[in-house]
Amino acid sequence: MDTTPNDLSHLFDQLGLDSSPGAIGRFLRQHRLGRGEALEKAAFWNASQRAFLLEERAQDAEWSETIDVLDSLLRQ
């Protein structure tokens, strides 16, 4: 059983990104989603990151709620 917490820093780990609080803050300041732009289709993801986001959301998997939080933060 996977006991990894499903929080934003661990999601960044899953995406292969720096998960320190400062790096997450920088990422959120540097990246924005346009109106109607799907998170998974954003140009700033690489192919494996995009696949992970798509798969987790499609399966309503354990990361889907945290992915929704990230989506919301990128629209603020």
The answer to whether residue 22 is domain-embedded is yes
Give pLDDT tens digits for 8-44.
Answer: 999 999 999 999 999 999 999 999 999 899 999 999 9
Provide the domain limits for residue 50: 8-73
In a domain, 1, yes or no: no
Q: 62 pLDDT band (50/70/90 cuts)?
A: confident
> How many whole angstroms separate alpha carbon 17 and alpha carbon 71?
16
CATH number, domain of 17, equals: 1.10.10.1130
- Number of independent structural domains in the chain: 1
Helices 64-73, 47-58: crossing angle, 10 deg rounding? 120
For residue 3, being part of any structural domain is answered with no
Local confidence band at 4 (pLDDT 50, 70, 90 cut-offs): low
pTM: 0.89
| Residue tagged 């790096």 (tokens) | 23
Do the domain assignments include residue 54? yes
Task: Select, from the ranges 5-14, 42-51, 57-66, the one with the highest average predicted confidence (pLDDT).
Answer: 42-51
